[in-house]
């Protein structure tokens, strides 16, 4: 997460909280160190953001501080709420947390819509405690154009170790697939994240190749939809 985005999220979290929030809790939500939160709070206070509190006790946002409202019509708001809620079915905990932050921002400025409900059943959560790799790691590798080394078991239980160049993620109803150029097979392959039994982000990159690989992949697979 870029620093400017993180500072914005700190503001939003404090605005939405009815009670002081400790730096440790902010650090857990934003997946950074407590020291980083201390620095961010100090920077925001230096910029005039009305944050009160101190280390060890917690921080609050002084009432009355606001950001420009989001301007959506009723159907746009409903589409946004349903779409964000459906991320609960993706198994991607990083996107789920981001979706919840957006929902909190929308709810703070608009009437509730409890009649809009999305069933939570879908892909299994990417819980490291269950031996899963965070899907956020795959997204990071795609953005940074860095190779991954994965241990993969196919539907028959055959296990292989591969080095891949991840170029995209495909979210299905019950699984998430990483689209990648597989160096072992010298071709495009799709890997279900729930069948990855080990994943390492490598220092080796494929900088500048991502767009070209995606173009060939889309043409090869007839994939025309772009999020």
Q: Residue 135: its pLDDT value, please?
A: 95
Q: What is the pLDDT of residue 224?
A: 65
- Name the DSSP letter for residue 21: B
pLDDT tens by residue, 88-113: 889 999 999 888 888 887 877 677 78
Quote the CA–CA distance of 12 and 45 in Å, as a whole number: 15
Lookup: tokens for 142: 């795609």
**Matching residue, tokens 């279900």:** 192
In the predicted model, is pLDDT for residue 116 greater than 70? Answer: yes
Task: Tell me the C-alpha distance between 180 and 186, whole Å.
Answer: 10
- pLDDT for res 107: 79
| Number of Cα atoms under 13 Å in the Cβ half of residue 219 | 6
Q: d(Cα 45, Cα 160) in Å, to the nearest integer?
A: 51
pLDDT, tens digit (0-9, with 9 covering 90-100), for 2-15: 787 788 889 888 88
Q: Cα–Cα distance between 21 and 13 in angstroms, integer? A: 9
Distance CA 174, CA 187 (A): 25
- Encode pLDDT of 171-188 as tens digits: 988 889 999 999 999 999
Residue-wise pLDDT for 31-78, tens only, equals 899 999 999 999 988 888 889 987 778 999 887 666 555 567 788 888
Contact between 154 and 161 under an 8 Å Cβ cutoff? The reply is: no
Does the structure show a pLDDT above 70 at 114? yes
Asked whether the beta carbons of 197 and 153 are under 8 A apart, the reply is yes
Tell me the helix, strand and coil percentages in the chain, rounded to 5: 40, 25, 35
Quote the pTM value.
Answer: 0.68
The residue ranking higher by pLDDT, 84 or 70, is: 84
pLDDT in tens, 124-161: 889 888 889 999 999 999 999 999 999 999 999 999 99
Question: CA of 151: how far to CAs of 21, 132, 192, in Å?
Answer: 40, 12, 12
Task: Give Rg (Cα) of the chain.
Answer: 20
H/E element, 186? none
Q: What integer best gives the mean pLDDT of the chain?
A: 88
Alpha helices in the chain (DSSP H): 3-16, 23-30, 34-46, 74-85, 93-109, 135-144, 210-221
> All domains of the chain, ordered by start, with CATH?
3-61 (1.10.10.10), 74-109 (no CATH), 131-221 (2.30.30.520)
Which is nearest to 181 in space by CA: 136, 215, 226, 135?
Answer: 215
């Amino acid at each position: 997460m870029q620093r400017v985005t993180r500072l914005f999220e700190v503001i939003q979290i404090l605005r939405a909280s009815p009670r002081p929030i400790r730096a440790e809790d902010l650090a857990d939500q934003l997946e950074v160190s407590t020291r980083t939160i201390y620095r961010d709070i100090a920077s925001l206070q230096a910029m005039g953001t009305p944050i009160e509190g101190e280390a060890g006790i917690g921080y609050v946002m002084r009432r009355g501080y606001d950001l420009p409202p989001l301007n959506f019509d009723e159907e746009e708001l409903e589409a946004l709420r349903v779409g964000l809620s459906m991320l609960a079915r993706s198994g991607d905990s990083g996107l789920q947390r981001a979706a919840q932050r957006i929902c909190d921002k929308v709810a703070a400025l608009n009437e509730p819509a409890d009649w809009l409900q999305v069933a939570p059943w879908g892909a299994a959560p990417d819980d490291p405690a269950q031996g899963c790799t965070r899907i956020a790691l795959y997204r990071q590798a795609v953005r940074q154009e860095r190779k991954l080394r994965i241990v993969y078991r196919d539907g028959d239980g055959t296990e292989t170790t591969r080095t891949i160049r991840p170029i995209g993620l495909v979210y299905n109803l019950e699984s998430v697939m990483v689209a990648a150029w597989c160096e072992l097979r010298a071709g495009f392959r799709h890997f279900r994240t729930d069948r990855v039994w080990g994943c390492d982000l490598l220092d080796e990159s494929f900088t500048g190749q991502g767009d070209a690989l995606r173009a060939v992949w889309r043409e090869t697979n007839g994939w025309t939809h772009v999020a």
